[in-house]
Structure 1
Amino acid sequence: MPKNALYAQSGGVTPVINASAFGVISAARRHRDQIGTVFAARNGILGALDEVLIDTAQLTDEMMAQLKYTPGGAFGSCRHKLRHGAELKRLFEVFETYDIGYFFYNGGGDSADTCLKVAEFAQYHGIDLTAVHVPKTIDNDLPLTDCSPGFGSVAKYVATSAREAGLDTASMAASSTRVFILEVMGRHAGWIAASAGLASTDAYSAPHLLLTPEVPFEAGRFLRAVDETIARAGYCVVVAAEGIRDTHGVYLAESGVVDAFGHAQLGGVAPILAGLVKQHLNQKCHWAVADYLQRSARHLASATDLAHAVAVGETAVAYALAGIRSVMPAIVREDNEPYRWRIEPVPLADVANHEKPLPLDFLTSDGFHLSPRGREYFAPLIQGEAPPPFRDGMPDYPQWQFVVNDRKLPSFDPTRG
């Protein structure tokens, strides 16, 4: 009898994470002689621990098509650092009960760490389990891959938003708002903020200034740049990563709170920047925080990104069936024009707990603008449109309601040794 598989989503979702689920499930269905039932855990690794499992056989062909075009995490996600001891033991009790031989964990860097822990536990205890990490993160900071599924769509959304907000600001600048600041995600890396530079076509068009964590923030230099931009273009649009830091490495928006993985929770850098502009330049300034909007904007997804997301899901299954364990399918760029790419496996141990910063040469020497090399990198990732179906003028997204399997094990007690 073929072994069963478990798929789960983890971390912050993306516009195309469900496309990777589609890739995993559809590929497994094409190999029913090698993979039996594909279970999906509700809310990531927490659902696996709590034995809240969904038999994906209930997904009809129509539902599978909807899965490919729906934002958010259809099966639910989580932020949870899997702990050695009771949690890992419980997880493998669930695996044994459901005859799980394949584990596909769809997430970013912290999820790669979870997948690696599972793979190492299985290897140490001689358990026949193949664990493969399915990459995704809007932050684009996974190492050893040219880009991360989810990023291209967010880059497209942020660059579009910067261009559209720029036209709005320009139309009002003569008598009202002259500065607009858009805060985007990016705690440690400035990939998203930098990608917004694709919207700028010359020295006069928005965005005019890009602020990334890789370039230390200096208030005086920033204010001079804003003032000079207003003098030249009549207005100024700024795109700032949430994780910009001063010359001492301190976050401008440090809130003092940390998440489950120990990462600092940031409190909003846009209003801080707006306060500086108002106080020192006496300019009216509006600001916005893209937040969940950028990572859920499936209506503006990149067709290239969608193709990446499906491909890494399908390839993860191919690797598992070939006996290639403890890896992540990585995207390798072959050429820019026309854009060509392939997928290769990279060791999970080289991905987990590592981050890829934005290269400084993707920015101009002043750190405020996208360089030609940066534009060359980002441009292919936002190409193509893949809109969802619309009904009555709105995206036709389903509200997922899955039947959960009856539990076979006692409820999980994390205090049990």
Structure 2
Amino acid sequence: MSFPPLDTALPAGADAREHALMLRRVHEASLTGRPAPAPLRPVIEDSWGRMRGFGIDPDSAPPPRVARVDELQRNRDASPIAAVLPLIRRSLVSVADEADHIMLVADSAGQVLWREGSHRMRSVGDRVGLVEGAYWNEGSTGTNAIGTALVVGRPVQVYSAEHFVRSLHTLTCACAPIHDPRDGRLLGAIDVTGPVSTIHPATLALVSAVAQLAEAHLQGIHHTHLERLRSVAAPLLAGMSERALVVDDAGWTAAAVHMEPVRRVLLPTQRDTGTAWLPALGECALEPLPGGWLVRPRPERESGGATVTLDLTRSAPTVAVAGASGEWTHRLTPRHAELLLLLAGHREGRTGAQLSQAVFGAGGHVVTVRAELSRLRRHLGGIIESRPYRFSEEVLVRVVAPPAPTDLLPGSVAPGVRDLREALRSGDRSVALRDLLAT
């Protein structure tokens, strides 16, 4: 696997002291409105623009908020990074200590959860608020490696006067975010901070490598857990004649019988033994297992009684499915909103060619239509049927439309949507439109 080159703070061949002096002149010029002697790196320039939007004062910024000890401990216990903390310590703490640096681990909100390293640098950190429990997101402390890396989602090095707040100009920091290898979710970041005189391009490469190692270790932990869950569930699944999945507490599939396994099931936040409507599966029975859940999808004929509400009154359309087991809402892409609106207006169903004509004005885009509907059906299990594509007869469909016909998916140029707008504008109340609208 190849990775893009890292954007280090010190240009190749530049003298660190002279570069720091130049950055201070750039900082001063930027604050006073004078022409800058050199351009900032784009990642820093963009961050400074955010600082102006936040209204952060570079000369008298308040110290970062520090969480109470009990809050800090709760966040430590909840952080997935805790599972790889020993690996991070082995990789960085001795290096940081010898180089007169400190190693910090923050969560996705920028709160420093752990801090270790040089005694002298810990004293410096105490003076600027770089302590355990402190929030070092950009909105709290201005441009800094932790906060900026969390915003841009990639490794960042911040040197001297690239920090927006002057009190941080004596520091150099390198930080790399850690993402959940399962779904890309941001978990937090690893940072190494030291005196401005110790800047080195290799520091960013080291921190980035450790973050990648931590992600790989998290992936291994997850695979081990799924293997253990699979072994526990094997005797149970062997005796089942119906469709079933075994998933972990986060919904990741460990095993399946009599069905194509989905990669992940979106479990309800509050769950217990009983029934729930799940995206991609429809109505399901849930039973707890050690370390996970047994999920048994009900036959589609038993998934009726649900109400599907297509809300087109917002800039970001949504579809909600509600039934006896609760309600689930999904945000729609513009194309998916068009397709659901067209299907809602034709409960008898539409073929791929008919939808291609209604969406693109030509029948040659059937493959694209099928691909988009396949993605939709992964979310709306038991609700959208095929051959032809249609809403299930057992569900009630409501469309909440804006009062003005011209505001019905105003960004859409699909011929079928334009026809609906025109029908609404002219007052046409055909059977399809009468069944469609819930305004």
- TM-score where L is the length of structure 1: 0.30
Higher relative contact order structure (alpha carbons within 8 Å, sequence separation ≥ 6)? 1
- TM-score where L is the length of structure 2: 0.29
